[in-house]
Amino acid sequence: MGSVASFFGRLFGKEEKKEEERNFRANDRPYNLSYHYANNAIKTSKYNLFTFLPLNLFEQFRRLANAYFLFLMMLQVIPQISSLSWFTTAVPLILVLTMTAVKDASDDINRHRSDKQVNNRMVSVLIDGELRSEKWLNVQVGDIVKLENNQFVTADLLLLSSSEPLNLIYVETAELDGETNLKVKQALSVTGELGDSIEALAGFKGEVKCEPPNNRLDKFKGTLTLDGQSYSLDNDKVLLRGCTLRNTEWCFGLVIFGGPDTKLMQNSGKTIFKRTSIDHLMNVLVLCIFGFLASMCTIMAIGNAIWEVREGSVFVAFLPREPGVGAALSSFLSFFSYVIVLNTVVPISLYVSVEIIRLGNSFYIDWDRKMYYPKNDTPAQARTTTLNEELGQIKYIFSDKTGTLTQNIMTFNRCSINGKAYGELFDFRGQRVEITEKTEKVDFRWNKLADPKFVFHDHSLVETVKEGNQEAQSFFRLLALCHTVMPEEKKEGELYYQAQSPDEGALVTAARNFGFVFRSRTPETITTVEMGRTVTYQLLAVLDFNNVRKRMSVIVRSPEGKLTLYCKGADTIIYERLHPSCNELMKVTTNHLNEYAGDGLRTLVLAYKDLDDRYMEEWRQRHHEASIAMDDREERLDELYEEIEKDLMLLGATAVEDKLQDGVPQTIEQLSKADIKIWVLTGDKQETAENIGYSCNMLREEMKDVFIVAANTAEGVREELQKARRKMCPAAAEEPSVSKARAGLFWLEKTQTVQDEEVDGDYGLVINGHSLAFALEKNMQLELLRTACMCQTVICCRVTPLQKAQVVQLVKKYKQAVTLAIGDGANDVSMIKAAHIGVGISGQEGMQAVLSSDYSFAQFRYLQRLLLVHGRWSYLRMCKFLRYFFYKNFTFTFVHFWYAFFCGFSAQTVYDEWFITLYNLVYTALPVLGLSLFDQDVNDRWSFQYPQLYSPGQLNMYFSKKAFVRCMLHSCYSSLILFFIPWAAMHDTVRDDGKDIADYQSFALLAQTCLLVVMNIQLCLDTHYWTAVNQFFIWGSLAAYFAITMTMYSNGMFFIFTSSFPFIGTARNSLNQPNVWLTIFLTALLCLLPVVAYRFVLIQLRPTINDKVRHKVRKEALPAPAPRIPHPRRISTRRSGYAFSHAKGYGDLVTSRRFLLKLPLKSRQVLFSQTDSPLAQNQPQHYRTIAEEPENSQRQEV
C-alpha cells in the first residue's frame, strides 16, 4: 500500500522530501505544524472502509487462478462458444473471493482495534499553560507531556525534569531490547530546574535541532538552544516510546518524534503479505497449465479446421452452418469452446478445498491440548490460516533469548563453601538425585524476613549456617554486604530489591533467606539482620565492577570495630589475588566451579581480607588524592585497588541459574535432529547470550571451536570471519559459490543461492551487534552468511530489532530456505514480520510479538510439536491433496482430449453435463477433504521418536515440479485406459437380450462410472490413516453418485425438465448388463495395477525415511513418552560469571549523599515507590537492574 501511495504522490507531484534535520520549538504548535511532522497516531491496518473492496480484490486477483476464472466466466457469457452455463464458474469464484475477503476483513478489524486501543490511551499534555488529559493520537511534536510511575512512554521524548534527585529517572526497556533490567536516564541540569512547576514549563521556549527519524536505538544526536546557550543532547537524555517509567513518581518530557517516526515504529518493519512456497509453486504450475491448456486447445482447433474441410461438407446438407461461418471461424470458435470444456485442469474447487484444508489444520493447532499452558490459561493459536504447510518445511529458526528461551528469572542454585559443595541431593548410594517440583523444599519459616518465593532443596546448608559455622556465615555475610542493591520496604518485613543485575538480586535474596538479611543502606552504612540480630556496618569504600576489573569489593567496619574487605568476582581474577595458604582450597573449589560451568550455571568466587586501621587510614588518604587528581586519575585509582585487593582469603563460590523455560534443551536437540538450524538473535550481553547457548546445549564443550567476532572495524570483522571460515574449511574457495536462477511468475524473479559447504566437525559462532553492523554491509554479507552457515550454532548478541530482520532477510535471500522467527517482545516484531513464519510467545514482555505473529503459544517447547507434528502433517496432507487433485482432474480432462478425435473436434463433452458440474463439487470433494484433514503417516509419538521424518519437507520431496510432471504422466496413462477400454468394450456390442447398447449416452455413463471408481480406489491407496469419516466419505460419495445418476436418468426428471435431463433410461439399461461391470473392473485393474507394482518395487529398492518408520510402526508397539532423563554431569573449564558482562556499576551513585536525599514532596514516602511490588501482589519476585552501559562500552552500530 505504501508503494501505491507513493506512486500517486509522484503522479501528482506531491512526493515528500526526505527529512534531513528536525527543528522544532517547545510549546509552539503553529511553528512546529508548519513542518508537517507526523503526529503520534500509529496505523498498522491495511484497509479502511473505502479502500477495502478495491485493494482486497486487487490482492486476490494477483493470484493468477482467480484472474483466469474471471476470464473464463466472461467467455461463458458468449453463447457461440460456451457449452456450459456461466454460473458454473461464477458461483464458486464469488464463494472463494467472499471467503477470503471475510477472513482478510476480520484480520484487519483486529488490527484496527489494536491501533485504536493504543491511540486512545490518555496522557497529560501541557497546552496553553495548563495540563490537559489528551489522547495519544493528538500529541504533537514540541508538546510537553507529563508521565507518571508505571506509565508507558507516549512518544520519543527529551527528558526535561523528574521527581528524582539529580533529575534521574528509571525506565524498563523490555519492549525495545528484550532486557528487563532498569535503565537510568538523566535530564540536563538547565531543564531539571524547571521541576514540576507548570508556570515554568509553560514558559519554556527551548529550540531543538536533532537528527531525522531513524531506527538506531542506541544513538541520538541533537542540540537544545535555550536563552542563547546550546546544550548537547545524547541518548541518555531521551526516552523512547515502548519503554515504561519505573520507580519515578513523575517526569516531564518534550516530544521529539511521534507515531510512525518513533524509533520503536521505525524498527517494527513493514507488514508483508506472506505466501507459502507451495502457493508460489502453484502460481508457476497454473501458468504452465495455462500454456498446456492453450496448446491442447490449439491442437483441437487445428483438428477442427481439418475436419471441417475434409468431413464437414458432408454434413452441411442436414446440419447447415450459420451464415458467414466457415471452417476458419468454426476453428477459431472451437478454440475457446475447448478452453471452457478443458478448464477442469484448474478447477476453482481446488482453491476452495485448499482454504478449507488450511482452516481445518489451523483448528487442530488451536484445539491441541498438548500445546495449552494451564498456568497462564494460554492455548496455542493459529493467527493465520494460510501458512500451515510451510510449518513442515522450516530450515532456519531465528529465536530471541530473553523471555523466549529463558524465563527472565535468576535462581541461586548451588554454592561451594570452604571446599564443601551445597545445593545437590544424593541418595543412600551416593547417586545424584534429580530435583523436580515434587522434591522436598527447605522450610525457611524460622526466618521471618525470608522471601517466601525463594526455593532451595539442600537442607544441610541451613543446618550448617544455624550451627554457627564461621565460613558459612562469612559467606552469606559477604553476599549481604558486597553489592549495590537498593532496598524498598513498604511494610515491616516485606522487602523488595532493585538490583544492578538480576544475578545480584538473586545472591542478596539467597543471603536473606539463609539468615543474613540486607535491610537498608545510607551513603555511609549498611544495615543487616544477621540470624535475627540487627547489625549496622560502616561503609568505608565501594570498589565497583567494570569490564576490566571483573570484580567488586566493599570495605566495611563492623560494630566491634573490625575492618574487612569483601570481594566477589570472576574466578580467574580472584585466584590471582589469593593468599598462598588458599592453594588447596582453591583446587577443591575449582573442581566445583568446573561442575557448575558444565551445567551452564553462572559462577562467582567470594573472598575476604582483614585490614588494620593504620593501613586503611593511609590508603583512604591516597585514594582521596587519586580521586581528585587531574592527570591519570583512572590509572592511579586502579593501582590503589590492585594494592588493597591482594592476599585475599577464599570463602567459596556461588552458582546462579539463568532459568530456562521448561524443555528448551530437549526441544533444541529435537529440532537439530530434524536438520533445522537455530540462530539466537538477542539484544542481551555477549556473556549472557553465550551462557544460555551452553545451557541450551546449542554451544557444547565438544565443539571443535566457538568463534567470537567482536571487532570494531569493517576490516577487523572481515578478517575474523575469514579466519573462522578457513579454519572450518581450509580447502574452500575464497569466493563463495553462488548459483543464479530464475523463479516466480513468468520467471521474472532472479534468485541467488549460496551453496552449502561441507565442514568436518561442529563449530559455533558468536557475533556482537557492532560487528554485525559491518558484516551486514553489502560487500561483506556473503562472507558472514557463508561462515555462519558452516557453523552448527550462531548467536548474535547486542543486536537491534532492525538487525534481527536484516539477518533473517539475508538468509531468505541467499539460502532460498524457509525461515521461522520466534520471540516475545516488541523488539522481535520486525524479525517476526520478516521471516516466512512468525511465532509469538505470550510472555512477560507484552503482546506486541503475538499481535504481529502468525502463530502464538506460551512456551518455547511447544515449537517442536508445532513443527514436527502439525507442520509435518499439514505439509504431507497438502502435498497428497495437490498430487491427487491434479491427477483426478487431469485424468478427467484428458478423456475429453481423446474423445475429440471421435467427435469431429466439435467441443462435445464426453460426460453428461450434470456429471461435469458435480464431479468436483460433490462426487470427489469430500473423499479428498477427508484425506487432507485426517491423514497421517505416523502418529505424534513416532514423529517425536524420529525427527528425521521432517527432512523431506525441507527438500520439497512430496510436491515439486518433478512430482507434478509425474502426476501428469500418470493421468495421461489413466485417461488412455479410461477412454479406450470402455470405447472398445462398447463398440459394436449388444445387450444380453440382443438389443443395441452402443450409443453415446451409454458410453458416457460407462466412462464416467469407470473414472469415479478408479479415482476412489486411487484415494484408498493414498490413504495411510483410516478413520470412520474417511470410510463414510468414500462409500458415501459412491452411493451418492449412483443415487443421483439413477434419479437424473429417470423418466420423472425427463418429463419435468426435458431439456435438462436428456439421459432418460440410460442408467437402468446399462448398469444391469454384466459386460458393463466387467468393463469397470477391467479398467480399474489396468489403471491401478501399475501403481501398486511401482510403489512395491520403490519401497523394496529405494525406501524413504517414512517407509522405514512405517514398517517399524507395524512391527513395534507405540513408543512410550520420552522419560525425563537427568543430563549427564559435564565438567567444564569455561566460566560463565556475570562479572564478565558487567558494565561499570553504580557504586559512586549509591555512596553519593545527594542521591539518597529525599525531596520535600508531600506524597513521597520512599525513594523507590513501586505500587505493584511482586511481594505486595503475592507474585514471583523478579529482579530488575538499574545498570546501563556507557557509550564507550560494547554497543551495536546500525
CB 44 within 8 A of CB 265: no
CB 814 within 8 A of CB 782: yes
**Cell 530471541 found at:** 400
Phi, psi torsion values for 1042, nearest 5 degrees: -65, -35
Whole-number Å distance between alpha carbons of 512 and 518 = 6
CB 202 within 8 A of CB 129: yes
Phi, psi torsion values for 25, nearest 5 degrees: -120, 145
User: What's at 237, amino acid-wise?
Assistant: K
Q: Is 993 a catalytic residue?
A: no
- Cell representation of residue 537: 556496618
For β-strands 533-543 and 551-557, DSSP reports them as: antiparallel
- Please choose, from the candidates 198, 1170, 1124, the residue with its C-alpha nearest in 3D space to the C-alpha of residue 663: 1124
Whole-number Å distance between alpha carbons of 1140 and 817 = 36
- Cell representation of residue 498: 532493585
**Cell 569483601 found at:** 566
Whole-number Å distance between alpha carbons of 1001 and 482 = 97
Q: Of the listed 368, 400, 684, 828, which one is catalytic?
A: 400
Q: Is residue 795 classed as helix, strand or coil in its secondary structure?
A: strand
- The residues near 974 (Cβ < 8 Å, ≥ 6 apart) are 887, 891, 894, 1014, 1087
**Cell 523488539 found at:** 827
Whole-number Å distance between alpha carbons of 916 and 385 = 30
CB 798 within 8 A of CB 1195: yes
- Please choose, from the candidates 524, 453, 551, 441, the residue with its C-alpha nearest in 3D space to the C-alpha of residue 494: 453
Local structure of residue 1119 (DSSP, 8 states):
P
- Cell representation of residue 239: 526516552
Whole-number Å distance between alpha carbons of 972 and 976 = 6
- The residues near 1186 (Cβ < 8 Å, ≥ 6 apart) are 170, 181, 182, 183, 184, 486, 498, 499, 500, 1146
**Cell 490482492 found at:** 59
Whole-number Å distance between alpha carbons of 653 and 570 = 10
Whole-number Å distance between alpha carbons of 1004 and 630 = 104
Whole-number Å distance between alpha carbons of 7 and 12 = 9
Whole-number Å distance between alpha carbons of 960 and 341 = 27
**Cell 477472513 found at:** 103
- Please choose, from the candidates 581, 639, 567, the residue with its C-alpha nearest in 3D space to the C-alpha of residue 609: 567
890 CB burial (10 A radius; 0-12, 13-18, 19+): buried
User: What's at 579, amino acid-wise?
Assistant: H
Secondary element (H or E) of residue 607: strand 602-611
CB 189 within 8 A of CB 281: no
Secondary element (H or E) of residue 396: strand 394-399
Whole-number Å distance between alpha carbons of 958 and 234 = 56
Local structure of residue 103 (DSSP, 8 states):
H
Whole-number Å distance between alpha carbons of 218 and 1190 = 11
Whole-number Å distance between alpha carbons of 60 and 64 = 9
Q: Is residue 1042 classed as helix, strand or coil in its secondary structure?
A: helix
Contacts 24+ apart (CB under 8 A), 130-138: 130/198, 130/202, 131/198, 136/40, 136/41, 137/39, 137/40, 137/41, 137/259, 138/39, 138/40
Positions marked active-site: 400
